[in-house]
Amino acid sequence: MHRNILSCNAAQDRPGNATLSKKMRPVTRQNEEQFGETNSEGEVMISFKKGASATRRDFLKTAAAAGAGLSMPAIVSSSVLASSGEINIMMWSDYLPESFVNGFTDKTGIKINFTGIGSNEEIINKLKATNGEGFDIVSPTVNRNLLWAELGLLQPFDMSKVALDKVNPSMALGETHWNFDGKGVFWLPHIWGTEGIAWRTDAFVPGGEFPSYYDVWDEANAGKTMGRGHSMLLGLGLGLEGRGELEPGSMWAAYESPEKMDEVWTKVVEAAIAKKPNIKLIWNDADTQKNGLLNEGVIVGQTWDGPPLALKTAGEPVMYRAPKEGAMAWVDGLAMPTGAKNIDQIYAFIETAYDAKLAGEAIKTHGYNSPVIGAAEFGGEIYAKNFADAYPGEALDSLNAWPAEAPWYSEKRTEYTNKFLSA
């Protein structure tokens, strides 16, 4: 999990039918799409790509039409759903809670063989090693499209077998951003969320309504913080911008060219190395984040939304909130490797993943959000409260969509991250 973006530009690490942002901040000059506008009735519209916008009412209309059997493709044959079988899935480690796995197996008779991962790089490296063999579904983040287009390790979906009208159309970016060489849709939306700040409510109090990415690096919290290598460097940069120690907009401008990235990230990594003794824990998966807050003495950390919200739901003294610099938003998807074998089972899985009830039950457990229309209605009151706590006031208006990553950017970021981690 991930993790990176709710929107990509055309070139391109909470409710299920989410009312996201009135104006999600564009992050590069090329990425000019706004995530949402407000209509004459004051409803927040969502548009993560040019030309695609809809209100909550529109989404509910779509869901109603689907329920009435209108414009629905023929999905999976009854023989498949009645039969046993297996499917091999490589996905972010906490994305398949027991409620969903049991619901899928009960519905289809299909067994899930699950391999958990904590980064997009793990997906890529495993598929490179097997030349696309061994897995039926993987879960890349939407802004990694430029890299996947070059790899040749995925195959397009048969969209006659996918009920895409069951998901928020603003997140259905496969045709526009994952249509490699005009061969079709190589990516489907699955789960979305953000990266922000989590803390122990019994040990840390933010300096205002919103925490800051800089809290992770602050001397006041030395030895009691955590983050993920590359994204905490981005967070530090945003924090330094907010403090006036780095030119505003520098971190997003770094995506524009290798020269600009070198200029910006050299400064950030120098600051990070100087403050590295303040960091207690480096995480790379959901369990490590949870353990840090529960057992490792971490009082504040830069985290995904899901792990701390799952702890909060379980009654632990943990809070997650978008920081004042803006949370980093992402969408993780479903993709089919070239070596996928269990094709019918893949479409059975997609059909189940787009079941509003099961998707809603899942978000109760993992703490992220679903793009499935109506899923939030099955998320329950605790999920709704957690969402409100995470994004109070104008927080949704300030989400940062991670830009599409050119291969050169990913490579240079890894070099800078390793320099920090090895210091």
For the domain that residue 406 is a member of, what is the CATH number? 3.40.190.10
pLDDT, position 402? 85
Residue 66 has pLDDT above 60, yes or no: no
User: Is 152 found in the same domain as 239?
Assistant: no
Is residue 221 domain-resident? Answer: yes
**pLDDT tens by residue, 99-120:** 999 999 999 999 999 999 989 9
Asked whether residue 179 falls in the same domain as residue 300, the answer is no
Confidence of residue 16 (pLDDT cuts 50, 70, 90): very low
Does one domain contain both 147 and 84? yes
- Residues 292 and 374 occupy one common structural domain: no
SS3 content of the chain, % helix, strand, coil (to 5): 45, 20, 40
pTM higher than the cut 0.85:
no
14 CB burial (10 A radius; 0-12, 13-18, 19+): buried
Is residue 188 a part of any domain in this protein? yes
Residue 296 has pLDDT above 80, yes or no: yes
Residue 87 is assigned to a structural domain of this protein:
yes
Q: How many domains does the chain have?
A: 2
pLDDT at 239: 97
Mean pLDDT, residues 244-263 taken together:
97
Residues 254 and 212 in one domain: yes
Residue 28 lies in a domain: no
| Residue 26 near residue 32 (C-beta atoms within 8 A) | yes
- For residue 371, report the phi and psi dihedrals to the nearest 5 degrees: -80, -5
Q: What is the pLDDT of residue 212?
A: 98
Residue with tokens 């409510």: 201
pLDDT-derived band of residue 401, with 50, 70 and 90 as boundaries? confident
78-96, pLDDT tens digit by residue? 444 444 599 999 999 889 9
H-run or E-run covering 418: helix 407-422
Residue range of the domain that includes 136? 62-192+330-389
Residues 262 and 338 in one domain: no
Residue type at 340 in one-letter notation: A
Q: Is residue 253 exposed (0-12), middle (13-18) or buried (19+ Cβ within 10 Å)? A: middle
Read off the DSSP letter of residue 71: T
pLDDT tens-digit map of 311-356: 999 999 999 999 999 999 999 999 999 999 999 999 999 999 999 9
pLDDT tens track for 180-203: 999 999 999 999 999 999 999 999
293 and 249 in a single domain? The answer is: yes
Q: State residue 170's pLDDT score.
A: 86
- Look-up of token digits 């799952």: 310
Q: How confident is residue 403, by pLDDT bands cut at 50, 70 and 90?
A: confident
Mean pLDDT of 135-154: 95
Q: Are residues 292 and 410 in the same domain?
A: yes
pLDDT band of residue 43 (cuts 50, 70, 90) is: very low
In a domain, 315, yes or no: yes
